[in-house]
Structure 1
Amino acid sequence: MAVSKLPNRIFIKLLLGFWLCSSLIIAIVGLLPLLQQNHDRAPLPPHLAKMLVRIAERVSIRLEDDPQAINNSRFKRLTHIRDRNDKPVRFYIVDHQGRVINSHKVSRGLRRFMLMTDEAERPMTHQFKRELIFGPYKFNAAGEQYSIYGRLADHHPRPWFFFFAENKLLTLSLAIMLSGLLCGLLAWHLGKPLRTLRLSADALAAGDLTSRVDKATTNRKDEIGQLALAFNGMANSVENMVKSQQRLISDISHELRTPLTRLQLALALARKKGQESAETQRIGYEAEQLEQMIAELLELSRVKLNIHDTKHQLSLNETLSQVLDDADFEASQQGKALVIDIDDAISLPTNPRLLARAIENVLRNAIRYAEQQVDITAQASDTEITIIICDDGPGIENEQDLHAIFDPFYRPQTARERESGGWGLGLAITMAAIDAHQGQIIAENIHPDGLRVTIKLPC
C-alpha cells in the first residue's frame, strides 16, 4: 500500500483551530483598550466646535468690556446654554494657570479631561459615565489667554466596548465562554466522525456484519476519512470471510447428506435381505445421529446467514403457540407440568421461525432436566420484552459453563449435558436466533436447584 504524501491534516486542523481560537480571544481582549483610547481621543465634532467658538466670542467680548464681569450673574448666564437637542450645556473658562475662573465646583471628570487634552495637545471629546466633556478652545481676551471647555451633564450613549472595558470580570468570563465555544465546535467537528466510527465498530462487534461508516465520514479528506475507508474495507473482508465460512459449513453439510443417504439406503437393503445384526443396528443408529447433527448444522448456518432478515410486528403468543402446545404435550408425557404466563397483549418485531426455534430449544432442555415443573413467563416494558424459562432440575454445576453453553459444540462436563447425547448445537442455534433479534440471553443457576434462562428482546 502506497504511503500517503499528504500532510498530517488532523495536526493542521488542531494547530490552526486552537491557534486561531487563542489569537481571536487575545485580539478581542487586547483591542478593547485600543478602541477605548481611540474613542477617548476622538476629534471634536463640528457642532460642538462651533458651540465653543460661539461661547468664546461672547465671553471675549464681555471680558473686553469689563474684566470683572466674570463674577456677575449675567456672565454666568453666558456659560449656561442649551444645545440643539434642548439639553443644558455648561462651559468652564480656564485661565493660563489652569484655574477654572467661572465656577468654584469642578467635577473630577473635568480635571481628568484637562490632563488628557494636555497630553493630546488638541481639542477632543470624552464620554464619562454621567457627562460628556469636550474642548478646549483657546482664545485671547483683555490681554490674557483662556481656554473654554464644554460639559453635557446628561447621560449619553457610549460605545459598546466601554461596557466591556469597565467590566473586566464579565469580559474575562465572556472570553472564556467564547474560547470554550470555539474549542467545542472544533472538538465536535473532530469528535462526531469518531463517534460514528465507534458506533459502527460496536455494531460490527455485536454481530451486525452489514455495519459501515457513513459517506459523510468516508468523504472527509483527513486521517479520520482514511480511517473510515480502512474500517469499511476491513468490515467488507470480515463479512465476506464469515459468510464464506457459513456457506462452507452449509455446503459441507449438504454434501455429507449424499453419502449418508446412500449409507441409509444400503442399510435398508441389507435389512430387507435379512442381514440384520447388532453391527447393522449400530450403524443405523449412528447414521440417524449423523443425520440429526447435519440438520442442526444446516439450521445454525441458515440462522447466521439470514441474521438480518426483515422482522414483522407479531403477538408473542401467536409466534409461540405451536411451540408451547408441543412443549406442553412433551412435558405431560414425562409426567411434568409446564406453567405458561404470557400476556396476549405482548407483541414485538420478530422473525417468527427463528424466535420459535430459539424458545423451543430452551424449553425442550428445561423439560428434559426438570424434576416436576417448568415455568415460562413473559414481561413487557417500554423498551424490551423479557422471557424467563425456569426448571427445577439439577442446574449446571460449573458456574463458568453458564456463559459457554451457547457456543457451538460446547458441552459442559456435567450429567445435565452428557446424558443428552447432543452435540451442543441446540443452544448455539438459540444464541444465533436471539442475536438476529438484537437481544440477549443469560443462563443462571437457581439455588438450591434449577436453571433459569432469561431472554431479553427489544420492542
Structure 2
Amino acid sequence: MIRQRLFWKILVAFLFTYFAVSQGIWLLVTLTLDKGEPPAIVLRNDVAPGVVMAARNALHHGGLAEYRALELALPAVTRKHLSLHPAQAAANGQWKRPPVPPQTGVHDAATTAPDGQAYIVRFSFPDARPVRILNLPPVVLLPGIAAGLVFASLLAWYLASPINHLRRGFEQLARGDLSVRLLPRMGSRRDEIADLSRDFDRMARQLEELVEGRDRLLHDVSHELRSPLARIQLALALAERSPQRSGQALERVGHEVARLDALVGELLTLARAENDGSAGDDYFDIAGVTESVVEDVRYEAEPEDITIALTTDLRNDVPLVRGNSELMRRAIENVLRNALRFSPLRGRISVRVAEPERDREVLITIADEGPGIPADKVDAMFQPFVRGSGHTSSFGLGLAIASRAVRLHRGTIAARNRTDGGFCVEMRLPTEPLTT
C-alpha cells in the first residue's frame, strides 16, 4: 500500500485550520455577545410570545395593578422590552397600533382591562437584519474568509515551491545541464514530491553516466581505431617505397584488418547487449557452457604451459539459466581469456561452478595468478577500454561485454584482488526450473 504522505499532510492541515477557525469564531462570539442581553432571535421567538401573552392575561383579568405586579416580577433584562400603550379603535374596526421605531421588531397584542379601557401590550427587540452573504453574520464570515486565505496561501506555497524547483530542474536538464540535482533543494520534506525529486536525481544521474560513458566510449574507440589504421597506412607507405617488401606489408595490412574486424564485432556485441531488453527465453545448462568454454581456451593456454582447472560443486544435476546461451558463452569466454592474458608462464587458472545453498543461483568463479590490478581500477574494469596495471594495457571490450551480458540475465558480476596474489572474477546467475 502506497503511503500518501502528502494527502495526510493536507488533511491534518485542513483539520487544524478548521479547528482554529471554529474556536476563533466561538471566542469572537463570546467576546462580542452582550452577556446580559439574549440574542434578538431568542427574544423574538422564545421570550416575546410568552411575555406578551402573560401580560395580556394579567391586564385583562386584573387590570393595571396586576399588570404592574407582573412587570415587576420579570427580570430587568426582559422588563425593559415590555411596554403598554392605550389603544384606539380604527375605522376598519381594528385597533390602532403605535408606530414601530426603525430597526426594531415587535410582538404585540390588544386587550381590554376590566374598566373597559383598551390597551396594546408590546414586546420590542432589536431587529436590524443587515444584508448578509449566505445568511452569515460578519463575526462568522470574516474569520472564515481570512482563515481560508491563509490556509490557501500556505498550501499554495507548500506545493508551488517544490514544483517550481522541478520545473527549473527540467529546464536545466533540457538545456544539457546533466549535473542538476533537486533533492538538496527540498530540505527536510518527506512526501511524494520529495520522492519525485529523488527519482529526478536518479534519472539525471543515469543520463549523466550514459552521456559520459558514450563520450568516453567514442574517445576510446577512436583511439583504438587510430592505432591499426596508422599501422595500415605505414605498411602501405613502405610497400610503395620498397616493392620487394610488399608481401610483408600486405601481411601486416591483413593482420590489422583482422584486428579492426574483431574490434567492430565486439562493438556490435556490446551495443546489442546494451540495447536488448531481455536475454531471451531459452533454458541452457550453464555448467555445460562453462565446461565447453574451458575446453576451447585450454588449447590457447598450452603454448604458455598454463593450467586451467575446472571444478563443479552442484546440488542439482543440471542448473538451468534462462536467457541466451551464446551471449553467456561470450561473457565467460571473455573473462577467461582476460585471465589467460595476464597469467604468468606456467601459471594456473581455477574455474569453479557452484550452487550456493542460500539462493537459487549458480556461482561461476574464475581466479588467476596474475599481477592483479590497482584497487582503484577494480570497480571501473568492466567499463570499455579501461587501462590495466601501469596503464600499458587495456581490458578492451571483453569485460564490458561480460558485465552487460550478466546483467541482462538478471545476475551480478564482481571482481577483486586475491590476498595470496592474482585476480578473481565472480559471476552470479539466477537459476530457474524448466517450465512447459
Please report the TM-score for the alignment, with normalisation by the length of structure 1: 0.46
Please report the TM-score for the alignment, with normalisation by the length of structure 2: 0.48
